[in-house]
Amino acid sequence: MQNKHHNLIAGEWHQAQNYQANTNPSDVSDVIGLYASGEAADVAVAAAAAAEAQRIYARAALQDRVDLLNRIAAAIEARTTEIGTMLAREEGKVLPEAIGETKRAAQIFRFFAAEAIRIPGDALGSVRKDVDVEVVRDPIGVVGIITPWNFPIAIPAWKIAPALAYGNGVVFKPAELTPGCAHLLAEIIHDAGCPKGLVNMVMGRGSVIGPAMVADPNIAAISFTGSVPTGRNLALSCAAQMKKVQLEMGGRNPMVVLDDADLNIAVEACLNGAFFSTGQRCTASSRFIVQDGIHDRFVEELTKRMATLRVGPALEATTQIGPVASAGQLDGNLGYVALAAKEGCEVVGGERINGPTEGYFQRPALFVGAKAGMTSAREEIFGPCASLIKVGSFEEAVAVANDTEFGLSSGICTQSLKYSREFRRQAQAGMVMVNLATAGVDYHVPFGGRKASSYGPREQGRYAAEFYTTVKTSYVYAG
Ligand code: NAD
């Protein structure tokens, strides 16, 4: 009998009617555990508890918030290996990446521990005599947090930490595929002495828990990371309820390689950006836009390096590329590999391969000879697949880079100051990288995109205050 993992509701571990098996994509015979699949009624109890706890927490000393966030960070640090191993086992990220992501989660809690006593505000004079004006940032109340499976410890951290730093309560719904990391984080928050009911975790189906969160009158705002279709529907239902909403969604991020690029830097940036973490990063490069003068050398070097990548079980020390996270995701990737060939690309790699255990292993794929208009070069794949589009000039490269419904991250490899400057100005994306992979960001600066990639205020860094607080202007007459 597998160990059952319950939801955290109103400060108690709460049994559910149903439990879902959490399986390892590197070895489908490995069942990690059974995790609660909650109901809409659980959301109502969780949200009411969070609202009650938040009213007290918001008025307590700011030092309490600092101490709580630091205790959570310390506990994540102390359990880094355990959490990283769980992440690698349930999501398929290789262990060094999983450990790195776990450390990042701790850094985020430490960053927001410090931010809790730096909440910005303004004191201004009034246009009227003997009147003072004060602008403060109040908490928004209870925040509903909905997260995807691809960064199962870092994304919950970068939403829960600012929520707590700015004085809010939380109802957290993790992705169905990765409840293990979420459960460990909830356990850490609970054991760190978080006020009872302030942070709740309701695992369960998105289509059940999500709408219940949006409809709940105790939840004031929703922060979501996931796919565009889910995000778009969520935004519509939040608008109907007049709820504040923040969405981080998909990408089809371009990486431009100009003739004057350092070939080694360009190949490294593309290899890392497209295929590491099995390409399952919203910021992954998935469109290489390569100028004709360097094109053939780039293809030769990149395909040589791709052939050396070791695909295998996430917890094996020699593995560089872990499995695809699920059977459904693998089917989708293989569908795009077939489509790229049908659309006329020469496909390098991309096939499903056998590993030492039964898992969802796939070789990284390059679609050579892609055209900007091809479906296989436009839709988000979210796997280890990249289209390679040849262009004749910098101007054409920029036009192709921006010719997308998305706008998350955008990169260029060049040694030209002029082109790197121009690209940073013209890129229609929330983040721009020069001679760096499109994926891989710092935690103290804003994260987010444009167009269909993001909606609402930015996440992370001080910009997080925009979503997790609401501004209040007070006027005082003292005449
Ligand atoms: P998804 O949209 O399927 O699920 C995301 C979350 O939404 C899950 O917790 C899911 O249970 C929940 N959900 C499902 N139906 C819902 C509903 N009706 N109402 C409310 N919530 C619901 O996405 P996914 O497959 O978990 O994640 C992959 C996607 O996430 C990709 O598109 C990727 O680009 C994106 N992503 C974006 C960022 C970013 O910051 N921009 C970061 C990571 C992942």
Domain boundaries, the chain: 4-249+453-477, 253-434
Residue of 206, 207, 221, 209 whose CA lies nearest to 175: 206
pLDDT in the model for residue 274: 98
Mutating to test ligand 1, I would choose from 93, 158, 178, 227 the residue with most ligand atoms within 8 A of its C-beta, which is 227
Residue 434: which residues within 8 A CB-CB, separation 6 or more?
Answer: 411, 412, 413, 414, 420, 423, 424
In the set 282, 345, 385, 413, the catalytic residue is 282
Minimum-distance ligand 1 atom for the alpha carbon of 230: 2
Residue 275: which residues within 8 A CB-CB, separation 6 or more?
Answer: 306, 309, 321, 364, 384, 386
Name the superfamily (CATH) of residues 253-434. Aldehyde Dehydrogenase; Chain A, domain 2 (3.40.309.10)
**What's the token pair of residue 27?**
């070895």
CA of 172 to the centre of ligand 1 (A): 13
| Phi-psi region at 459: left, alpha or beta (left = phi > 0; alpha = psi -120 to 50) | beta
Low-confidence ranges of the chain (pLDDT < 50): none
Considering only the C-alpha atoms of the chain, give the largest distance between any 2 of them, rounded to a whole number of Å. 80
CA of 230 to the centre of ligand 1 (A): 7
CA of 475 to the centre of ligand 1 (A): 42
pLDDT in the model for residue 474: 98
Domains 4-249+453-477 and 253-434 share a fold: no
162: exposed, middle or buried (C-beta count within 10 Å: 0-12, 13-18, 19+)? Answer: buried
Q: How many CB atoms lie within 10 A of CB 436?
A: 19
Query: Using one digit for the tens of pLDDT, what is the confidence trace for 16-51?
Result: 999 999 999 999 999 999 999 999 999 999 999 999
- What CA–CA distances, in Å, run from 93 to 22, 24, 284, 433, 444? 15, 11, 14, 23, 24
Return d(Cα 318, Cα 297) in angstroms, integer: 28
Catalytic residue status for 282: yes
Return d(Cα 234, Cα 282) in angstroms, integer: 19
**What's the token pair of residue 428?**
């229609």
pLDDT in the model for residue 1: 53
What's the pTM value of the predicted model, to 2 decimals?
Answer: 0.98
> Which residue has a Cα nearest atom 31 of ligand 1?
227
Pocket of ligand 1 (CB under 6 A): 146-151, 173, 175-176, 206-207, 210-211, 225-227, 230, 233-234, 248-251, 282, 380, 382, 408, 453
Minimum-distance ligand 1 atom for the alpha carbon of 229: 2
pLDDT in the model for residue 479: 86
Helices (H) and strands (E) in the chain, counts: 15, 21
As assigned by CATH, the class of the 4-249+453-477 domain is alpha beta
Token pair 């979210």: residue: 382
List residues bridging with 123 in a β-sheet: 134
Pairing of strands 285-291, 253-257: parallel
Residue 337, CB-side half-sphere exposure with 13 Å CA sphere: 20
List residues bridging with 412 in a β-sheet: 256, 434
- CA geometry: angle 181, 150, 79, nearest 5 deg: 30
